[in-house]
Structure 1
Amino acid sequence: MTTPVALVTGGASGIGAEVVTALTRRGYAVGCLDRNPAPNVEHAVAADISDPRAVADAVADLRDRLGPISAVVNSAGHYQMAPVADITREAWHTMLRVHLGGLFNIARACLPDLLETHGTLVAVTSELAVGGGEDDAHYAAAKGAVIGLVRSLAAEVAADGVRVNAVAPGPTDTPLLAADNPCRTPEYLNSLPLRRLTTPQEVARAVEFLVCDATFCTGDVVNVNAGAVI
């Protein structure tokens, strides 16, 4: 039996690293695309998700090493808090390039493989895409656009046997959430129904479900957010 191949962006740390572990455990040969080194991933390529040429070259490299890709998880991300008045044009475009542009780049590069393998793509968005958040306008806007792209692509390729879904984590206990982030304060945590941050392992379990088990789901968004959005 041929070993299925998965590609995880942002797999060097945080949610992405946990997804690499989960899919490896489920029998996938996993490749990683990340700007940062991923020493614990055998098949890792350094690339910036916002650079379409770099993404295309990285996907081609991993395909040559491992074979056709049947699962893609786009977890690479960027986070910054700022009130609207302080968001610079460059900060606005960076957020869109990384999140919306990154998903577009990886989907375009991997789509021929997914059509061949009748594969699946899962994008990591955010509960802020649904609920918004103070000082999070550019991040929430970019993540909201990710949901629009996921649902549109899902409708486009469903008849070809390709599933496209998203997970929307709430504040998650990863290095991306700085130690002084307001979401780590007791006041915020006590406002959540579960009174705690989401863990990266929990998000990875939701991704694993969508990749491996949820053959009945496409165009869906699974919320993993400790009740932040109900």
Structure 2
Amino acid sequence: MSNTDRPNPSTQRPVALVTGAARGLGAAIAKALGVAGWVVAGLDLTPCATTLSIQVDVTDAAAVADAVQLVERDLGPIAALVTVAGIYEELLIDDITDSAWDRMLAVNIGGTINACSAVVPVMLKRGAGAIVTISSDLGVGGSQGDAHYAATKGAIVGFSRSLARELLTDGIFVNSVAPGAADTAMLSAESPWRADSFLKTLPIPRLVRPDEIAGAVLFLLEAGNTMTGQLVSPNSGATI
């Protein structure tokens, strides 16, 4: 695990930790948080354009725990966690190998659990905090050719709602964002989600923009103690 030179952020600005912040949706969320006044630490396999960038594999629970301690030491108390790190793969059920299942589970649900398990104890000590997990519209509605991905994203919803109940009286609020097909590099140019035949079926006939998903995350963080255990789905009206 490596980190940048130690920053010296203002102690008046709240600290947010974003996993998967190097690119795509994670980078968009980290940028939006920065614009909104947060000091942002990014965790990813590659460097992040954040105040503090830590290269770590989210499937490594010990490394994630060490990263959380580093953020608390160098930036201050973590007020918010956003778990974005994830992978996507389109495979029919007969083509999903054991290794494909293991990797999808380890990164998507395992990485989410590792980050929450590392951050919740420090939030409990202060009796305050906010967590937003990133699920997927496919975790709610499912889809042909996405069984292992949808399974992990559905698990994130169940995990998040259970965590919200568990932490309800401890001043920690947990919510999820379940985006529809988003315009990021995670979707290949040949992806069926980019096809006009699919987009024309949507009430808003286009892919969701990363900044729109980032806006949903900010909304949940700014909702403070008025929302917990909720699921927000910016999905171009794919599920109504």
Same fold (TM over 0.5): yes
RMSD of the TM alignment (CA)? 1.1
- Identity level (%): 45
The counterpart of 1:84, out of the listed 93, 96, 102, is: 93
Q: Which residue of 2 aligns with 1:216?
A: 226
Q: Which residue of 1 aligns with 2:129?
A: 119
Instruction: State the alpha-carbon separation in 2 of the partners of residues 114 and 160 from structure 1.
Output: 9
Q: CA deviation at 1:50?
A: 1.1
CA distance 1:164–1:152, change in 2 (3 Å): same
Per-residue CA deviations over 1:80-120 (Å, capped at 9, x if unaligned) read 01000000001011111111111110001001222215110
Does 2:214 correspond to 1:195?
Answer: no
Please say which of residues 115-124 and 194-203 is displaced more in the overlay: 115-124
Instruction: State the alpha-carbon separation in 2 of the partners of residues 88 and 154 from structure 1.
Output: 33
Does 2:161 correspond to 1:151?
Answer: yes
Aligned pairs for 1:1-230 (under 5 A) are 2-38=12-48, 40-115=49-124, 116=126, 118-230=128-240
User: Which residue identity does 2:42 align to in structure 1?
Assistant: C
Q: Which residue of 1 aligns with 2:5?
A: none
User: Which residue identity does 2:226 align to in structure 1?
Assistant: F
Instruction: State the alpha-carbon separation in 2 of the partners of residues 44 and 205 from structure 1.
Output: 22
Per-residue CA deviations over 1:121-156 (Å, capped at 9, x if unaligned) read 000000001110010000000000000100000000
Preserved contact between residue 69 and residue 117 of structure 1 (Cα < 8 Å): no
Q: CA deviation at 1:21?
A: 1.4
Q: CA deviation at 1:42?
A: 2.7
Instruction: State the alpha-carbon separation in 1 of the partners of residues 189 and 87 from structure 2.
Output: 16
TM-score (structure 2 length as normaliser): 0.93
Preserved contact between residue 70 and residue 117 of structure 1 (Cα < 8 Å): no
Instruction: State the alpha-carbon separation in 2 of the partners of residues 13 and 103 from structure 1.
Output: 17
SS at match of 1:224: coil
Instruction: State the alpha-carbon separation in 1 of the partners of residues 53 and 194 from structure 2.
Output: 31
SS at match of 1:202: helix
Q: CA deviation at 1:2?
A: 2.8
TM-score (structure 1 length as normaliser): 0.97
User: Which residue identity does 1:49 align to in structure 2?
Assistant: V
* Structure 2 residues not aligned, in runs of 5+: 1-10
Q: CA deviation at 1:214?
A: 4.7
* Structure 1 residues not aligned, in runs of 5+: none
Preserved contact between residue 129 and residue 140 of structure 1 (Cα < 8 Å): yes
Preserved contact between residue 130 and residue 144 of structure 1 (Cα < 8 Å): yes
Instruction: State the alpha-carbon separation in 2 of the partners of residues 123 and 148 from structure 1.
Output: 11
Instruction: State the alpha-carbon separation in 2 of the partners of residues 201 and 131 from structure 1.
Output: 23
User: Which residue identity does 1:90 align to in structure 2?
Assistant: S
Q: CA deviation at 1:172?
A: 0.1
Per-residue CA deviations over 1:147-179 (Å, capped at 9, x if unaligned) read 010000000001001000000000000011111
